Amino acid sequence: MKIFRLNVFAGVAVVLLGFAATIALERIAFGRHHVTVQATVAQQLNTVRAAVERSLNERIYLTLGLRAHVSANPDLTPQQFATFAAALMNEGDGIRSVTLIKDNVISDVYPRENNEAAIGVKLLDNDEQREGVLRAIKSRQPWLSAPIDLVQGGQAFINRAPVYVTPPGGKTGSGGYWGLVSILISKEVLLNDIVRELPDELTLAIRAQTAGSAEHVYFYGDSSIVAAQPITLDVSLATGDWEVMGTPTANWPTRAPSSWMLWSLGSLLSIGMGVLTTMLLQSNSNYREARATAESALVQLSRKNEDLEAFLSTASHDLRSPLRHIRAYSDIIMEDAGDRLTDEDHHRLSRISASADRMMNLLDSILRFARTGASGIEPEVFSLSEAAEIVVHQLPEEKLGLVKVGDLPEVFGDKNLLTQVLQNLIENGLKYNRNETIQVCVESHSLPAETQISVSDNGIGMNSAQLANVFKPGVRGVSESDFAGSGFGLAISERIVKAHGGKIWADSAPGKGSTFHLTLPRA
């Protein structure tokens, strides 16, 4: 009983070790998944940041243009200002008003309607706007203030720029301080322009630093996003300090998508290994207690191991055996009954033998390639036209006229593997095709250091989402009930082409067919 307990304790220890390994693997999987999600959010946030920079800079540079005009024309009349301001507002959506602030006092506004009350306002006497004005004057640079509430409704950003007079013939802005110019930018229009293509899976906040303090004002989203540990990117602007912050809408993942599978397999393996350990230890104990019974069991176990080794050896051999039999029997039929066979029978038997030989060579190449990757390739100079013809002749008779092969050059590569690539592309063009007049074309284009091969069809085509995943193993863009297939043909083709130092890609549109391009080294 004591030995049995020790065996059970050992099994429990194995189970605990298995669970510990499962936890470690789950953490690794979670870490990788979390990094992937972070990369996705960062990519989406980069897109938003680019939209912010584009939308803001388009409008901010209007302020700089206004400053340059006033600097060169400090005595412009109200009519001249109105004409210039009207043209300026036509250049950017969401411009609510354009303002001249001579000697820090609002001297003119365009449009005048609903803005007359602002004329004569001294900005330095306005607590809400004083800091922004002083900051622009002190830095001699434009400054974009956070949104303010407008009397006429809504909110707007104020972009102010100090103006220094440009003397006739002098350096730009080298004269005295004239005042400021400002543009009112509609918050609603600006944000709509920025977030119109915001992904649903991204939670976004945009904030700006207020003038003269470290405080941030959130004008899209709110400060609660900080608690969610967002990714934060600085916005590159000619004026102001802005940041975009983002998290996944569904929050950051706490587990990897594969966690349930890891835990299921890990639990089964851990318990199984624990039970097996206990059984093995108990078996060893039983052996010591009853030698005769243990010897009998050992003999049976030895026989099972021998059977397993024999099975593995036979299975490896039998992968090729059926192909040898097909080849041998077709030769026997041609030799023994050759005079009784028609020309068509001879042709069909020849195709069977050729297919068996090709399959044998292809099996050897694929197995060698799978074991060793690119190092297992046996390159040679061969004609792609001949390889394409081999593929075409293996097609059913009713499809022979559907494939047009152009003048293809010689290339340097593994003939069997590259023939398989052509076969995959041609057969896909025929299979994924509902056109009444199916057509597949194989052409070549000469490039400076390589050859480009194109296989085009007039089939069902693919959308952008299918194109993005077309070379992923096991991924199929069509229903299994509509078109049979495993989803590995193009993945294998991509690996073969890359192993030759080339690349493969596709152009397609739904209902307009597909064209697959690949590049290979010249002979």
Tokens of 208: 């700006």
Strand partners, 218: 207
Distance (Å, rounded) from C-alpha 218 to C-alpha 435? Answer: 56
CATH 3.30.450.20 domain locations along the chain: 1-304
Q: Region 277-298: what's the mean pLDDT?
A: 77
Closest CA to 462 of 509, 503, 418, 507: 509
CATH 3.30.565.10 domain locations along the chain: 378-521
Confidence (pLDDT) at 313: 41
Closest CA to 223 of 196, 203, 200: 203
Confidence (pLDDT) at 117: 82
348 burial level (CB within 10 Å; 0-12, 13-18, 19+): middle
Alpha helices (H) along 73-98:
78-90
Confidence (pLDDT) at 453: 95
Q: Region 394-399: what's the mean pLDDT?
A: 86
Q: Region 119-127: what's the mean pLDDT?
A: 86
Contacts of 192 (CB under 8 A, 6+ apart): none
Phi and psi dihedrals of 199, rounded to 5? -65, 145
Q: What is the Cα 68 distance to its own chain's centre? A: 44
138-182 pLDDT tens trace? 888 888 777 777 766 778 888 889 999 998 888 888 888 999 999
Mean pLDDT over the full length of the chain:
82
Distances (CA, A) of 182 to 76, 80, 106, 147, 163: 16, 17, 10, 14, 10
pLDDT band at residue 61 using 50, 70 and 90 as cut-offs: confident
Lowest-confidence region among 173-187, 229-243, 417-431, 442-456: 229-243
Q: Can you give 129-170 as a three-state secondary structure string?
A: CHHHHHHHHHHCCCEECCCEECCCCCEEEEEEEEEECCCCCC
372 has a pLDDT exceeding 50: no
Class of domain 378-521: alpha beta
SS3 state of residue 287: helix
Are 158 and 129 in contact by the 8 Å Cβ rule? The answer is yes
Distances (CA, A) of 207 to 190, 204, 457, 483: 14, 10, 51, 51
Distance (Å, rounded) from C-alpha 269 to C-alpha 262? Answer: 10
Are 444 and 407 in contact by the 8 Å Cβ rule? The answer is yes
Confidence (pLDDT) at 411: 92
The CATH code of domain 1-304 reads 3.30.450.20
455 has a pLDDT exceeding 80: yes
Are 247 and 230 in contact by the 8 Å Cβ rule? The answer is yes
Amino acid at 134: L
Q: CB atoms < 10 A from the CB of 424, how many?
A: 20
Predicted TM-score (pTM) of this structure: 0.45
SS3 state of residue 433: coil
Confidence (pLDDT) at 312: 35
